[in-house]
Homo-oligomer: A and B are copies of this chain.
Amino acid sequence: MGTLTIRGGRVLCPDMTVERADVLIDTDSATIESVDDPDEIENGDESLDASDGLVIPGLVNAHTHVAMTLFRGYADDKELDAWLQEDIWPVEAELQAGDVTAGTKLGIAEMIRSGTTAFADMYFFMPQVAEAVEETGVRALLGHGCITVGKDEDAAHEEFEEGLGFAREYDGRGDGRVRTMFTPHSLTTVGKEFYEEYVPRARKEGIPIHIHANETDNEVDPIVEERGKRPLEYAEELGLLADDSFIAHGVYVDARERELLAEHGTAVIHCPASNMKLASGIAPVQAMLDEGVQVGLGTDGAASNNDLDMFDEMRDAAMVGKLAADDASAVPARAVVRMATQGSANALGFDSGRIEAGANADVAVVDLDQPHLTPRHDLVSHLAYAVKGSDVRHTVCDGEVLMADRELLTMDEKAVKRAASEHAEALVDRARN
C-alpha cells in the first residue's frame, strides 16, 4: 500500500484526550491505518512534520453556501429580510455558473488553509461545485437549494427535478469524496405539496435531506399560526426527520421539538456567527446536548459571518453558548471541538471527524509554536478558544496532502483569488445596472 506518516506531534483522540503519537495513513484506501507510539510506526512513502504540532481531525463545516464568499463584506449590519431582499437576492439573481466556480474555489482555499476538509453546501449551479470539490481534493455533501415561493408550478417542479437529478448524478464522484443530498430551502419557502411529492422520492432513493429550520421567530410564527403545530412537528409529518437528515440553525426549538430531533436522530447544525450577525437568536445548544440531540457546527455563508473558518465558529459557539445559557460552564471547549469534528461528520454521514484506525484520512496539523498558544495547560481549550485558522500548517483529505507548510498543493491560490475578485466585481456591476 502507499503510505503517508504524520510524525512528531501530539494527536487529538476521539475521546478528546491528547497523546504523543504518530499517524500512519494508507493512501490507497485513503484511511487511517494506525495511531501509535512513534517507535511503532514505520516510515511512510511520504511524511509530514508535526513537531510542536497537534494533529486533529479535519474540521467539518456542516452548513454553508460556499460561493457566497463572493459577497463577503458586500452588505453587513442589516436586518435579515432587508439584507436578503435589498442586497443578497439581487446579486444572486445575476449568478452564473462561472461565478459559482470562482466563489467555491475561493471558499475551498480558505477552508483548506484553516483546517477544514469537508463541508455541506446548499446552493446553485451545483455541478460546478462538485467539479471544484473533485478538482481540489476536499470532501463535500452537496445539494441544489430548492425553493417554490415566487415560482410558478412548472418552474418549481423543474427546480425540484433538478435537485433530485443532481443528487442522483453526482453522488460518489471524486472517488467518493462528493456525496449528495436533497435540499428544500426551508419549511416556509417550499410548499407542502412539494414536500409531499419529493420527500418520499428522495427517501426511496436513499438521498439524505437537509433544510434550514427554526432560524428566526419570523419563520416559526407563521407555521404555528397556519398549521397549529411547531415547525419540527410539521417537519416530522412531512417525513423530514430521520437519522440521515439534518437541519441548519435550530435557534427556536422548544422542548418537544428537541425531543423529536433526539428521537429521530436528526442533527442540528449550529451556526452561531450567522445567528449573531443577523440578530436571529442563539440555539439552546447546551439543552440539546443534554437531551441527546446530535449537534454539528457550520459557518453558514461568508456574507453573514464573514469567513469560513471553523476555529472562529468553535470559539463563537463556546462563547455565546455560555451567554445564552447564562452559565459559564455551558458549551465547554470539549463540546465545541466535538461538534466541529465528530458532530458535523456524523450529521453528514462521513466516516471522518476522528483520528482512529479505519476512519477516513482527513486530518489537519496545528502549529502550536505561537505566542497565542503559549503556555499549553490544555490543548483542547486552545482548539476552542485560542487557535486561529492561520495556525494550521498541513491539511490532508482522503489521504492526499492538500496543504503542506501552509502552501496549497491542489490549487493555484493566486489565480483563485484573482478569479474570485473579478467575478465578484462583475457580478455586482450586473446587479447594479
Contact = CB atoms under 8 A, between A and B. Distances in A.
Contacts of A275: 323
B385 A328 contact: no
A41 interface: no
A322 interface: yes
Nearest to A414: B369
Nearest to A389: B388
A114 B276 CA distance: 24
Nearest to A326: B279
A110 B277 contact: no
A309 interface: yes
Contact of A278 (B279, B322, B391): B322
A341 interface: no
A203 interface: no
A323 B324 CA distance: 10
A17 to B, nearest CB: 15
Interface in A298-329: 305-309, 312, 315-316, 318-320, 322-323, 325-329
Contact of A328 (B106, B113, B279, B371): B279
A306 B385 contact: yes
B374 A69 contact: yes
A315 B312 CA distance: 10
A276 B428 contact: no
Contact of A308 (B76, B372, B420): B372
This chain's copy number in the assembly: 2
A114 B390 CA distance: 12
A416 interface: yes
Contacts of A425: 375
Contacts of A391: 390
A421 B385 contact: no
Nearest to A70: B375
A230 to B, nearest CB: 22
Given A109-B371, A276-B320, A309-B372, A76 B385 contact: yes
A74 interface: yes
B377 A428 contact: yes
Interface in A50-106: 69-74, 76-80, 83, 106
A275 B83 CA distance: 28
A377 B323 contact: no
A322 B304 CA distance: 12
A330 interface: yes
A202 interface: no
A376 B79 contact: no
Contacts of A371: 106, 109-110, 113, 413, 416-417
A8 to B, nearest CB: 18
A19 to B, nearest CB: 18
A423 to B, nearest CB: 8
Contacts of A374: 69, 72, 106, 417, 420-421
